[in-house]
């Protein structure tokens, strides 16, 4: 394997900004962008990246009227004033001739690729008429709304609520849902990880040097490079994170839960856990300990292929660095149907060493209201929610609400894939319309064929997009949104260890006839006769409502782009608590042990951390206690098929962006040499993967960096619509191989399945 200098690599990994010549404009494209000089501000504008949903704070400016130079906003220290390679390529999206810059209406069959331009006014009129007709005939609840979470989704879901449907979905069940729901069950709220201060990091497939989040990626780099943290990685393939780790264990896909439980077993049996912390802050320890008694490292080895002695040693090393050690709870939580207990087992390993609210451990976000209360004064302004009076009362139940076990998922984004059965089989009732924004389920929701069938079966499909994505290709109307470099949005909360806000602002004037989504969904709302639910006229009035009409505060947030308040605070970290109490004379009195431990309140039924949960037991009988359950992810004669992110593309989103497509346009399938040898497959050969729901042809990459029983592909490639010119037909389409699954309790999709491999 190629040896890379670790230090050298780490320096490069999270630090690039780019300015490049604009791609030439192809003639004849739909509503192509005229290549005119860019208009906007030539001084730096502070804003927010949207090349992925990490949404890093950026600064951008126009160079010579021709280009946009993007870098990180230095005000946001943890992001290091940097953007990643995709963040630096924003100009290539902005000026991509294949971006849609006029509203489009389908004129052929769904998916046939025949489009006509339509005015915004006519598009709103026709869509609103159809929506109202569906509402009259089948009820408002028969229209689902979906959007990737973020400020856009707030506007999409506001319209849904005003229209009267409860069926709103973000990307949760395809991505973070399981770790969010697991945290809710145990802590009553989402948790954050403090990688940069951690001395010992255990990583179960968090691909953080490729699936980049500038702040967390840089935090991990700091921990490794500057502070000498030890990193242990469990991964079925030799990812970049595995390559930069101190040790890599090629775990069997989907079996992480057994190793996490075995770590807990050793922590308890060998008495390495923080007894005092458990006594004060945790309930359900005894039930958990009784369950975990049998989950020995020797048992986990038989399931996961990770050696028992390694698990035992790692548990001891981890505990010896307590509390400044962490088991990372990951990001994309779709490795097994037992995700709920996998992520709970990981949190349990953190709780046992008492790293909660400690440096290098896990902690709760400190938003203004709670922070101010501790300080005894208004250190940070609290944002107001614009009150909208008289919103319709919705009585229809959500399509994912029939089963009580998903109770915690409804409010965390919903079980997105339930749209498919509701559409195709009227389960639990018939859907007739789907209004979506900033989402590409054909690529990202699993079982592409079923998504296509569903889109074809509906009476109305609307997509708000930048491109004619694979999904938008099946819409009746495509509403083109201005890119993040052309639009403004509401102020967003970016609080971490202390309160922080930031805001998106336009860097260039809008190119073509596109609009920001807050405007699109407001105008559609007005056309629907729901204007009374939009007390804001434009984004400025909405922002002023957020800051309680404090003009100078708004000005400050806009000028700096990112504003943070107070001092970083972790409630059980004595030094931080002392500094905090020192800074604010009316601050809460420090506990006897020098911390604010008694100020920790968990929004669980008991008010404590719940290692075992009566509420979960009630929602999903038999699941109150964290347990191991055997899962069969593939048949004996199949290989595991797994995926991951690549550093130069985002999900199912950027494969048409010229600059990024030039860097990588295909996803060769990783195959172990012994597996390849049996089928006489060599690197570069054409191969085929066949699953229970589809088959895909691609190219082989023979590498020892993968388990023999597993194949891997970077996700997002192989688009099947011809409008994605640079992406269509290139590589394996992962969503076409994955069956549609709903995991217990957390409602997650499943991104691991069995495939047969053939040489073509």
Ligand X SMILES: Nc1nc2c(c(=O)[nH]1)N[C@H]1C(S)=C(S)[C@@H](COP(=O)(O)OP(=O)(O)OC[C@H]3O[C@@H](n4cnc5c(=O)[nH]c(N)nc54)[C@H](O)[C@@H]3O)O[C@H]1N2
The verdict on 244 binding ligand SF4 (CB under 6 A) reads no
Asked whether the beta carbons of 451 and 420 are under 8 A apart, the reply is yes
- Output the smallest distance, CB 468 to ligand SF4, in A: 22
Kindly report the number of other CB atoms within 10 A of residue 760's CB atom: 11
Upper half-sphere CA count for residue 256 (Cβ side, 13 Å): 31
Shorter beta-carbon distance to ligand X: residue 239 or 498: 239
- Output the smallest distance, CB 332 to Mo ion, in A: 5
Binding interface with ligand X (CB under 6 A) = 50, 52-54, 86, 148, 171, 174-175, 204-208, 210-213, 234-237, 239, 251, 253-254, 256, 330-332, 335, 437-440, 444, 464-467, 469, 481, 483-484, 517, 642-645, 647, 649-653, 712, 715, 734-735, 738, 751-752
Q: How many residues bind ligand SF4 (CB under 6 A)?
A: 13
- Output the smallest distance, CB 707 to ligand SF4, in A: 28
Shorter beta-carbon distance to Mo ion: residue 175 or 240: 175
Q: Report the alpha-carbon distance of residue 709 to residue 491 in Å, rounded.
A: 47
- Output the smallest distance, CB 73 to ligand SF4, in A: 10
| Interaction partner, residue 87 (ligand X, ligand SF4, Mo ion, none; CB < 5-8 Å by kind) | ligand SF4
Q: Among the candidate windows 110-118, 211-219, 460-468, 587-595, which touches ligand SF4 by CB under 6 A?
A: 211-219
- Output the smallest distance, CB 253 to ligand X, in A: 4
Token pair in block for residue 76: 């946001």
| Interaction partner, residue 56 (ligand SF4, ligand X, Mo ion, none; CB < 5-8 Å by kind) | ligand SF4
- The phi and psi torsions of 542 (rounded to 5 degrees) equal -65, -45
Shorter beta-carbon distance to Mo ion: residue 144 or 175: 175
The verdict on 175 binding Mo ion (CB under 5 A) reads yes
The verdict on 212 binding ligand SF4 (CB under 6 A) reads yes
Residue with smallest beta-carbon separation from ligand SF4:
87
Asked whether the beta carbons of 480 and 31 are under 8 A apart, the reply is yes
| Interaction partner, residue 168 (Mo ion, ligand SF4, ligand X, none; CB < 5-8 Å by kind) | none
Asked whether the beta carbons of 466 and 104 are under 8 A apart, the reply is no
> What is the full DSSP assignment across 631-688?
---S-TTSEEEEEE--TT--TTTSTT-HHHHHH----PEEE-HHHHHHTT--TT-EEE
Token pair in block for residue 311: 């698990």
- Output the smallest distance, CB 524 to ligand X, in A: 13
Q: How many residues bind Mo ion (CB under 5 A)?
A: 1
For 504-539, b/e burial (b = at least 16 CB within 10 A) is bbbbbebbbebbbbbbbbbbbbebbebeebbebeeb
- Output the smallest distance, CB 82 to ligand SF4, in A: 8
Of the candidates 49, 303, 462, 732, which one interacts with ligand SF4 according to CB under 6 A? 49
Which of 148, 149, 143 has the alpha carbon at shortest distance from 528?
A: 143
Q: Report the alpha-carbon distance of residue 650 to residue 633 in Å, rounded.
A: 26
Token pair in block for residue 671: 């195959």
The verdict on 648 binding ligand SF4 (CB under 6 A) reads no
Using H for helix, E for strand and C for coil, what is the string for 18-55?
Answer: CCCCCCCCCCCCCCCCCCCCCCECCCCEEEECCCCCCC
Shorter beta-carbon distance to ligand X: residue 308 or 599: 308
| Interaction partner, residue 444 (ligand X, Mo ion, ligand SF4, none; CB < 5-8 Å by kind) | ligand X
Window 73-92: residues binding ligand SF4 (CB under 6 A): 83-84, 86-87
Give, for 279, the enclosing helix (H) or strand (E). helix 275-281
Q: Report the alpha-carbon distance of residue 203 to residue 193 in Å, rounded.
A: 12
Upper half-sphere CA count for residue 383 (Cβ side, 13 Å): 21
| Interaction partner, residue 652 (Mo ion, ligand SF4, ligand X, none; CB < 5-8 Å by kind) | ligand X
| Interaction partner, residue 206 (Mo ion, ligand X, ligand SF4, none; CB < 5-8 Å by kind) | ligand X
The verdict on 639 binding Mo ion (CB under 5 A) reads no
Q: Among the candidate windows 76-84, 172-180, 260-268, 352-360, which touches Mo ion by CB under 5 A?
A: 172-180
- Output the smallest distance, CB 211 to ligand X, in A: 3
The verdict on 698 binding ligand SF4 (CB under 6 A) reads no
- Output the smallest distance, CB 158 to Mo ion, in A: 23
- Output the smallest distance, CB 324 to ligand X, in A: 22
Of the candidates 54, 418, 444, 471, which one interacts with ligand SF4 according to CB under 6 A? 54
Helix (H, G, I), strand (E, B) or coil at 63: strand
Interface mask (CB under 5 A) for Mo ion, residues 693-732, using x and -?
Answer: ----------------------------------------
Residue with smallest beta-carbon separation from Mo ion:
175
| Interaction partner, residue 234 (ligand SF4, Mo ion, ligand X, none; CB < 5-8 Å by kind) | ligand X
Q: Report the alpha-carbon distance of residue 147 to residue 520 in Å, rounded.
A: 14
Residue 518 backbone class (left: φ over 0; alpha: ψ -120 to 50; beta: rest): alpha
- Output the smallest distance, CB 196 to ligand SF4, in A: 16
| Interaction partner, residue 466 (Mo ion, ligand X, ligand SF4, none; CB < 5-8 Å by kind) | ligand X
- Output the smallest distance, CB 748 to Mo ion, in A: 12
Please tell me what DSSP assigns to residue 4.
Answer: -
Q: Report the alpha-carbon distance of residue 485 to residue 83 in Å, rounded.
A: 15
Of the candidates 10, 56, 346, 375, which one interacts with ligand SF4 according to CB under 6 A? 56
The verdict on 214 binding ligand SF4 (CB under 6 A) reads yes
Sheet holding 247-249, edge to edge: 247-249, 230-234, 200-204, 325-328
The verdict on 207 binding ligand SF4 (CB under 6 A) reads no
| Interaction partner, residue 55 (ligand SF4, ligand X, Mo ion, none; CB < 5-8 Å by kind) | ligand SF4
Of the candidates 10, 13, 51, 472, which one interacts with ligand SF4 according to CB under 6 A? 51
Shorter beta-carbon distance to ligand X: residue 236 or 354: 236
Asked whether the beta carbons of 147 and 305 are under 8 A apart, the reply is no
In this structure, the strands spanning 45-48 and 247-249 are unpaired
Asked whether the beta carbons of 547 and 553 are under 8 A apart, the reply is yes
Residue with smallest beta-carbon separation from ligand X:
205
The answer to whether the peptide bond before residue 174 is cis (omega within 30 degrees of 0) is no
Interface mask (CB under 5 A) for Mo ion, residues 241-260, using x and -?
Answer: --------------------
> Which residue has tokens 């905090």?
580
| Cα angle value 442/487/22 (rounded, 5°) | 75
Q: Report the alpha-carbon distance of residue 455 to residue 280 in Å, rounded.
A: 52
Shorter beta-carbon distance to ligand X: residue 97 or 735: 735
First to last CA, the chain: 27
- Residues near ligand SF4 (CB under 6 A): 49, 51-52, 54-56, 83-84, 86-87, 212-214
Chain residues binding Mo ion by CB under 5 A are 175
């Amino acid at each position: 394997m190629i040896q890379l200098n670790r230090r050298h690599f780490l320096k490069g990994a999270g630090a690039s900004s780019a300015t490049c010549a604009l791609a030439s404009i192809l003639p004849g494209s739909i509503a192509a962008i005229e290549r005119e000089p860019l208009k906007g501000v030539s001084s730096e504008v502070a804003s927010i990246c949207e090349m992925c949903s990490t949404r890093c704070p950026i600064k951008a400016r126009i160079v010579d009227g021709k280009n946009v130079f993007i870098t990180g906003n230095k005000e946001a220290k943890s992001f290091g004033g940097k953007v990643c390679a995709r963040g630096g390529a924003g100009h290539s999206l902005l000026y991509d001739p294949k971006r849609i810059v006029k509203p489009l209406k389908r004129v052929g069959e769904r998916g046939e690729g025949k489009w006509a331009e339509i005015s915004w006014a006519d598009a709103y009129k026709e869509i609103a008429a159809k929506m109202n007709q569906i509402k009259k005939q089948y009820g408002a609840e028969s229209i689902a709304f979906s959007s990737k979470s973020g400020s856009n989704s707030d506007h999409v879901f506001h319209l849904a609520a005003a229209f009267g449907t409860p069926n709103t979905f973000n990307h949760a069940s395809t991505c973070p849902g399981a770790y969010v729901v697991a945290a809710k069950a145990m802590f009553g709220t989402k948790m954050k990880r403090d990688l940069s201060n951690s001395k010992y990091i255990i990583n179960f497939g968090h691909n953080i040097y490729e699936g980049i989040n500038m702040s967390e990626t840089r935090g991990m780099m700091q921990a490794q490079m500057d502070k000498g943290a030890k990193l242990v990685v469990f991964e079925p393939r030799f990812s970049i994170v595995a390559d930069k780790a101190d040790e890599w264990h090629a775990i069997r896909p989907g079996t992480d839960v057994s190793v996490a439980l075995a770590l807990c077993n050793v922590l308890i049996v060998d008495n390495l856990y923080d007894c005092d912390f458990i006594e004060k802050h945790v309930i359900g320890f005894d039930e958990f300990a009784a369950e975990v008694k049998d989950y020995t490292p020797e048992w986990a080895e038989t399931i996961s292929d990770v050696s028992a002695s390694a698990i035992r040693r790692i548990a001891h090393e981890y505990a010896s660095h307590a509390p400044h050690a962490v088991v990372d709870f990951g990001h994309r939580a779709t490795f097994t149907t037992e995700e709920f207990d996998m992520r709970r087992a990981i949190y349990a390993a953190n709780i046992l060493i008492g790293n909660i609210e400690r440096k290098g451990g896990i902690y709760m976000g400190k938003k203004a209201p709670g922070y101010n209360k501790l300080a005894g004064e208004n250190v940070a302004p609290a944002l107001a929610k614009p009150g909208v009076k008289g919103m319709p009362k919705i009585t229809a139940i959500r399509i994912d609400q029939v089963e009580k076990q998903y109770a915690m998922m409804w409010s965390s984004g919903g079980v997105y894939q339930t749209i498919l059965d509701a559409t195709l089989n009227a389960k639990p009732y018939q859907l007739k319309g789907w209004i979506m924004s900033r989402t590409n389920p054909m690529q990202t929701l699993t079982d592409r064929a079923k998504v296509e069938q569903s889109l074809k079966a509906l009476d109305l499909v609307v997509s708000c997009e930048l491109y004619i994505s694979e999904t938008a290709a099946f819409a009746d109307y495509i509403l083109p949104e201005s890119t993040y470099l052309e639009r403004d949005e509401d102020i967003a909360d970016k609080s971490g260890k202390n309160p922080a806000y930031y805001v998106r602002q336009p860097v260039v004037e809008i190119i073509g006839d596109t609009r920001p989504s807050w405007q699109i969904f407001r105008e559609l709302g007005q056309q629907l006769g729901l204007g009374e639910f939009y007390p804001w006229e434009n984004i400025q009035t909405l922002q002023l409502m957020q800051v309680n009409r404090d003009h100078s505060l708004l000005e400050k947030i806009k000028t700096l782009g990112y504003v943070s308040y107070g001092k970083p605070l972790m409630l059980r970290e004595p030094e931080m608590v002392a500094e905090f109490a020192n800074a604010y004379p009316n601050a809460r009195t420090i506990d006897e042990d020098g911390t604010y431990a008694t100020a920790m309140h968990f929004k669980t039924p008991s008010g404590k951390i719940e290692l075992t949960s009566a509420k979960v037991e009630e929602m999903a009988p038999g699941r109150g206690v964290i347990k191991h359950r055997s899962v069969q992810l593939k048949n004996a004669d199949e290989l595991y098929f797994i995926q991951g992110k690549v550093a130069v593309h985002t999900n199912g989103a950027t494969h048409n962006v010229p600059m990024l497509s030039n860097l990588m346009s295909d996803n060769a399938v990783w195959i172990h040499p012994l597996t390849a040898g049996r089928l006489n497959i060599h690197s570069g050969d054409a191969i085929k993967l066949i699953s229970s729901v589809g088959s895909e042809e691609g190219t082989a990459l023979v590498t020892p960096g993968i388990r023999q029983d597993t194949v891997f592909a970077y996700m997002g490639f192989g688009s099947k619509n011809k409008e994605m010119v640079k992406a269509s037909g290139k590589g394996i389409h992962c969503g076409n191989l994955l069956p549609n699954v709903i995991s217990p309790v957390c409602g997650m999709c499943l991104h691991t399945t069995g495939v047969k491999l053939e040489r073509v």
